[in-house]
Amino acid sequence: MPEKRGRLTARGFLIDYLLSIGIELVILFALMGFCSLFIYRGALIGAEELVGSEMSSPTLGRLIYMILSFVLAAGLCVAASLCAKKGKDVFAFWAGFASGIFLWQAAGEEAWHFAVGGIHFVQLESIAAFPVVILFAGLIIYGWRRRAFDWGVWITLISFACNWIGHYVTVGLYPFVQDLTGSRAWNVGAGCAGGGIMFILSILYLLTHAGTRKGRMFASVLTYIAIGITALSVIDG
């Protein structure tokens, strides 16, 4: 992880933090558009089933994109790790960021649409994935404490988690409180609260790790999470 040193300059704030957030959002929307070119195309290659709270849609185009996304995620993660080992931190950051989004699209958005004998890959944004969330959180904590991941792999994991957190704060946690409040109130309230907390944490991280480019860019990812959680909660609400 980035070291704590230095102070925040105007150039560092504008280029490594604000500009990075803008580029992250552009990449996200570009890959969402790229995904949409595939997933609704082609005939259904399996039965549509209710998985979690949503109907599956196992189209041929979705299967092709799922496989493509896994391949791209793996390739970009390897590239990010190699760049990190060579000290090319900016290249490692962007390769890892894109890798994490592709991994989420493959595992979190597409894989659960397909079943073999009625057995589905877990829908990562559903309550059924709660044990997986705990295991992934344990992996993140272990990696942080043991410094087990290089910069490129770390960004891949955090980018993947970025998309997961936004979905899980609203959709995944709602079944725990469905007897207490309606889904719209929960989505908006929990999402805005979670986004607000994450935004505060991102600013604190930015101020305490302002002296390194890696620190400023990592803070931009935390703000990106905050924006995603808040926006998703309003849209789902």
Whole-structure pTM value = 0.90
pLDDT of the residue at 50: 78
pLDDT at 35: 94
CB 86 within 8 A of CB 141: no
For residue 5, the model assigns a pLDDT of 55
Closest CA to 214 of 72, 92, 40: 92
Backbone angles phi, psi at 177, to 5 degrees: -125, 15
What's the pLDDT score for residue 102? 97
Buried/exposed 223-235: b ≥16 CB within 10 Å, e otherwise: bbbbbbbbebbee
Q: What is each CA distance from 126 to 14, 112, 167, 213, in whole angstroms? A: 37, 11, 9, 36
Report the alpha-carbon distance of residue 79 to residue 94 in Å, rounded.
10
Using 50 as the pLDDT threshold, list the residues of the chain that sit under it.
Answer: none
Q: Is the dihedral of CA 71, 166, 154, 149 positive or negative?
A: negative
Q: Tell me what pLDDT residue 14 has.
A: 92
